[in-house]
């Protein structure tokens, strides 16, 4: 509760002027304590109403989140430590999936319009990354008939899942779960039998339901059943027989997160993205995501947007989607070069190519193959030589102490994709500014990039900070991702 005290909010105002090959950023603080967002700044709680298929999306620290913004306004080092911890967990999870796929290569990856078949029930996934309670952003979606409105995360794990009643009181004997899907109240609910083509569990026995155990190698968190019911995004976007892992979870582990489950947006056969592609006319993207620029505002998840809405808009950048057999459910773009102040880092395109660069909304920072990161860091440091370096903060090792400065000059960072398209990054996409103590100005800034974990295959990942000033449109059928500027406000 102490963290919710109305401390004066010091806002970092970034006023940007473009100069030749670099940008000036004014650092100044404003006392904004009177401007706490009122409840009418929060999006309507009904899914999709008035906004087509746009579901308002909020950060877990937002005043509009089901958690009511507990712990919001943490701009200090504590918040950075937490972000880095969460990123570490996420990277280990992604790394584990890619390593497992490399050890036992899956059949040839499916072409983009026909995503990989099969339902992968997350029986042995990393629990932290696949259960409610950990992700940053939620939307409100309906499941069941009549629709039960549930705060849901979204991910590319290959399987939607949600917490179902009855909840297990378990060892904690904690209060019953109020946020969970109740199958007994739905007229369209059905549980899949073991042996149905969509049940690939080898552990269930014929005559029973398609059950699975949710566990890591040492611990059983709960039991689940693969079920289907109607997913309602908006009055006009309903997906019947949408499958999900319906999990009975011990309250002890899941009383804390804002989300009840995950909507799978991956390339797997049962994902919402695939359902959209199978049911929509040509010229429809699977979905788009607009992450809010900060935790006080909201973005959206748009299901089945029409591509014509984006054609002709200024500044739209297209990047080819590539498939990667180590993560057939994930989205990878064909990044081929990074330039600083217009000059490519001295690296062969082959170093970027082939395995693609993952787009991930659950990691905050951008992680690069270690030699690529080293080249970027060295060039960035040369461009920033006039500023006072600050100690590394964990994985962020290119930090500066801007104490006393009114404005700073940052180099331009540009991404180039395999189709020749280039995208200049906004400083809000590549710098993370923070303060050490809550009553201070924002004297510290780090390059919001780091080296990816050093395992036996290199990989790159574009994190949520890099995505958040854009609407990112997943035109899966067209094999493209579009980065659309300045469309993140809900109207
Ligand atoms: C399994 O999860 C439990 C509870 O979170 C944790 O203590 C344990 O370390 C995990 N085991 C592995 C192998 O990850
Ligand atoms: C899961 O189901 C098994 C078999 O029915 C049962 O023994 C176990 O207690 C259940 N575990 C949890 C966490 O519900
Ligand atoms: C992906 O990365 C691995 C490890 O560096 C490399 O051996 C392989 O050739 C790459 N794949 C492609 C298609 O380039
Ligand atoms: C940042 O710079 C100021 C002014 O030079 C100095 O007083 C302060 O100790 C520095 N802080 C850190 C953490 O380096």
Residue nearest ligand 1's atom 11 by CA: 218
Ligand 2 pocket, CB under 6 A: 168, 220, 222-223, 248, 250
Distance between alpha carbon 272 and the CA centroid of its chain, in Å?
A: 16
CA distances, 219 to each of 123, 210, 222 (Å): 12, 21, 9
pLDDT of amino acid 170: 59
- What separation in Å is there between the alpha carbon of 425 and the centre of ligand 4? 28
pLDDT of amino acid 36: 40
pLDDT of amino acid 72: 46
Annotate 199-213 with DSSP letters as a single string.
---SSS-TTSB-EEE
Query: Number of helices (H) and strands (E), helices first, in the chain?
Result: 7, 30
Which ligand 2 atom is at minimum distance from the Cα of 168? Answer: 14
pLDDT of amino acid 298: 83
Mean pLDDT in residue range 287-298: 84
Mean pLDDT in residue range 228-253: 86
Task: Check if 344 is active-site.
Answer: no
* Of 491 and 93, more confident: 93
Strands (E), 183-331: 190-191, 211-215, 220-234, 237-249, 261-264, 287-290, 299-303, 317-322
Domains of the chain, CATH where assigned:
22-43+75-112+284-491 (2.40.70.10), 117-266 (2.40.70.10)
Instruction: Give 341-346 contacts, CB < 8 A, sequence gap 24+.
Output: 341/21, 341/22, 341/383, 341/411, 341/412, 342/21, 342/412, 342/414, 343/379, 344/416, 345/372, 345/375, 345/376, 345/379, 346/375
> Does residue 261 contact residue 244 with C-beta atoms inside 8 Å?
yes
Mean pLDDT in residue range 215-223: 69
Ligand 3 pocket, CB under 6 A: 354-355, 457-458
* pLDDT averaged over every residue in the chain: 78
pTM for the whole structure:
0.85
Close Cβ partners of 381 (under 8 Å, ≥ 6 residues apart)? 389, 398
pLDDT of amino acid 428: 86
Close Cβ partners of 451 (under 8 Å, ≥ 6 residues apart)? 367, 368, 369, 370, 373, 374, 395
Task: Check if 454 is active-site.
Answer: no
- What separation in Å is there between the alpha carbon of 9 and the centre of ligand 4? 22
Which ligand 1 atom is at minimum distance from the Cα of 126? Answer: 14
- What separation in Å is there between the alpha carbon of 66 and the centre of ligand 2? 30
pLDDT of amino acid 273: 96
């Amino acid at each position: 509760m102490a963290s919710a005290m109305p401390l004066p909010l010091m806002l970092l105002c970034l006023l940007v002027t473009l100069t030749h090959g670099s940008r000036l950023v004014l650092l100044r603080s404003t006392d904004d304590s009177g401007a706490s967002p009122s409840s009418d700044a929060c999006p309507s709680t009904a899914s999709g109403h008035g906004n087509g298929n746009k579901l308002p999306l909020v950060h877990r620290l937002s005043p509009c989140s089901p958690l009511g913004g507990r712990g919001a306004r943490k701009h200090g080092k504590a918040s950075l430590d937490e972000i880095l911890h969460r990123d570490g967990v996420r990277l280990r999870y992604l790394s584990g999936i890619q390593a497992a796929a490399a050890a036992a290569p899956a059949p040839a990856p499916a072409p983009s319009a026909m995503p990989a078949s099969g339902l992968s029930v997350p029986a042995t996934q990393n629990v932290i990354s696949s259960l409610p309670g950990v992700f940053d952003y939620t939307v409100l979606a309906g499941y069941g008939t009549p629709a039960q409105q549930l705060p849901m995360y979204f991910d590319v794990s290959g399987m939607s899942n949600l917490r179902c009643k009855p909840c297990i009181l378990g060892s904690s004997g904690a209060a019953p779960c109020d946020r969970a899907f109740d199958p007994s109240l739905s007229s369209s609910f059905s549980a899949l039998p073991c042996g149905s083509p969509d049940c690939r569990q080898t552990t269930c026995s014929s005559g029973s339901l398609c059950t699975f155990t949710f566990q890591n190698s040492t611990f059983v968190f709960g039991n689940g059943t693969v079920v289907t019911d109607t997913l309602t995004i908006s009055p006009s976007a309903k997906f019947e027989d949408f499958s999900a892992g319906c999990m009975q979870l011990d309250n002890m582990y899941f009383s804390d997160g804002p989300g009840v489950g995950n909507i799978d947006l991956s390339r797997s056969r049962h994902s919402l993205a695939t359902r959209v592609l199978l049911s929509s006319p040509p010229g429809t993207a699977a979905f788009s995501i607009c992450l809010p620029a900060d935790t006080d505002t909201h973005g959206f998840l748009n299901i089945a947007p029409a591509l014509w809405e984006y054609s002709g808009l200024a500044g739209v950048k297209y990047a080819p989607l590539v498939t990667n057999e180590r993560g057939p459910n994930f989205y990878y773009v064909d990044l081929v070069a990074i330039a600083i102040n217009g000059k490519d880092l001295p690296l062969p395109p082959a170093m970027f190519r082939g395995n693609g660069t993952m787009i991930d909304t659950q990691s905050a920072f951008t992680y690069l193959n270690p030699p690529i990161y080293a080249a970027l860091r060295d060039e960035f440091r040369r461009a920033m030589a006039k500023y006072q370096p600050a100690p590394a903060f964990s994985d962020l090792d290119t930090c500066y102490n801007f104490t006393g400065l009114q404005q700073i000059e940052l180099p331009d960072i540009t991404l180039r994709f395999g189709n020749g398209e280039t995208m200049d990054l906004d400083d809000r996409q590549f710098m993370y500014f923070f303060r050490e103590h809550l009553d201070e100005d924002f004297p510290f800034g780090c390059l919001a990039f780091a080296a990816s974990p050093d395992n036996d295959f290199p990989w790159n990942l574009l994190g949520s900070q890099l995505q958040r000033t854009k609407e990112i449109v997943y035109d899966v059928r067209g094999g493209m991702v579009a980065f659309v500027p300045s469309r993140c406000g809900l109207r």
